[in-house]
Amino acid sequence: MTSKIIGVGNYIPSETITNLFFDKHVFLNEEGILLKDDNEAITRKLQKITGIVERRYAHSDQVTSDLGLIAAQKAIENAGIDPETLDYIIFAHNFGDVKFGTIQSDTVPSLASRVKHLLKIKNNFCVAYDVLFGCPGWIEGVIQANAFIKSGMAKRCLVIGAETLSRVVDIHDRDSMIYADGAGAVVLEAIDDESGIRSHLSASFTLTEKDYLYFGKSYNNDSCPSVKYIKMDGRKIYEFALKNVPEAMKQCLDKSGYSINSLDKILIHQANEKMDEAIVERFYQLYNVPLPLNIMPMVIDKLGNSSVATIPSLLAMILKGELKEHQIQKGDVVLFASVGAGMNINAFVYKF
């Protein structure tokens, strides 16, 4: 017994934010000193490293649970099921609902409970809860749903990943240009054949790596020091990811019983184009196999880094035929992988 994806959905906010949006920003370093490069040079360097040309922001009247609801509705419709038949709703996010123009995170009740309410599900035994696991939260939600299904505790689960990172960034930190908003969701169902989830792996590196991503004060020393924003040590994250993610992907693939040559696609968290390319290249080096062409779909250039939403949104785009260069057919073997705050890494191998 394992889990099969029977429905996918996503929501890509319509507000497109190009790199020109940051032209008038005042970017400072950690000491509050103005950066030497002008904004044109800063954004040019960002695009070269991350691949990001534009990103999407949610409308001012939307919050994270609104985005998650839309993706969930699309996944349920795509699956063709009655939402009353869902046993679990698992909502992966990191900052809750943050209203536009405010700084307070709202997580009570849980975002999963809010989505269940808005779906008008009457079944009290459809359990709704949230997962906070950094950017790998959606994959972790899928792994948890699969555990419920394999144990017999559930037959169908809805797993959502949504975030509005544009609400928690320090406008004086150039890293703020990376982040975006979005949502993706899948419906999983019990299945007893060779398709579905074939293996999975999760890990948390906390001894010395815990604070590579953290909440910290603005780089503007005149700002209120008690207000916190998402911060990261980009160099340490890059080095950590290249050292640990390829090995985790290898362990997961080896557990599945499939060979490296059996892989048709790798869907990796859209965090940084150069970093993702280096991770996948190093992964293939572990097998002494050349990197295949067209193995890793990337949409970060247009959508930015929307944390937990990147992978389920990308999956929905592929399965709906929205990426001309990438298709997933019946029988294809796909490796999903992510890395993020915690520092957490996870992966699963899936046969379509």
Point out the domain boundary residue: 169, 193, 217.
193
Cβ contact 286:247 at 8 Å: yes
| Full domain range(s) for residue 50 | 2-193
Contacts for 299 with CB less than 8 Å, ≥ 6 apart: 270, 310, 313, 314, 317, 323
Residue 7 and residue 151 share a domain: yes
Boundary residue ending a domain (140, 158, 193): 193
CATH of the domain at 71: 3.40.47.10
What is the sign of the dihedral through the CA atoms of 221, 227, 229 and 235?
positive
Please state the pTM of the whole predicted model: 0.95
Token pair for 279: 């991770």
Q: Enumerate residues 6+ apart whose C-beta is below 8 A from 137.
A: 92, 93, 94, 131, 161, 307, 308, 340
Res 122: pLDDT: 97
Residue 140 sits in the same domain as residue 284: no
Q: Read off φ and ψ for residue 11, nearest 5 degrees.
A: -140, 120
| 216 and 145 housed in the same domain | no
Domain end point (choices 163, 193, 223): 193
Do 195 and 352 touch, CB atoms closer than 8 A? Answer: yes
Do 37 and 81 lie in one domain? The reply is: yes
- One domain, residues 117 and 264: no
209 and 294 part of one domain: yes
Local confidence pLDDT in tens for the 352 residues of the chain? 899 999 999 999 999 999 989 998 998 998 888 888 888 899 999 899 899 999 999 999 999 999 999 999 999 999 999 999 999 999 999 999 999 988 889 999 999 999 999 999 999 999 999 999 999 999 999 999 999 999 999 999 999 999 999 999 999 999 999 999 999 999 999 998 889 999 999 999 999 999 999 999 999 888 878 788 899 999 999 999 999 999 999 999 999 999 999 999 999 999 999 999 999 999 999 999 999 999 999 999 999 999 999 999 999 999 999 999 999 999 999 999 999 999 999 999 999 9
SS3 88: strand
- Please indicate, yes or no, whether residues 189 and 208 belong to a single structural domain of this protein: no
Provide the domain count of the chain: 2
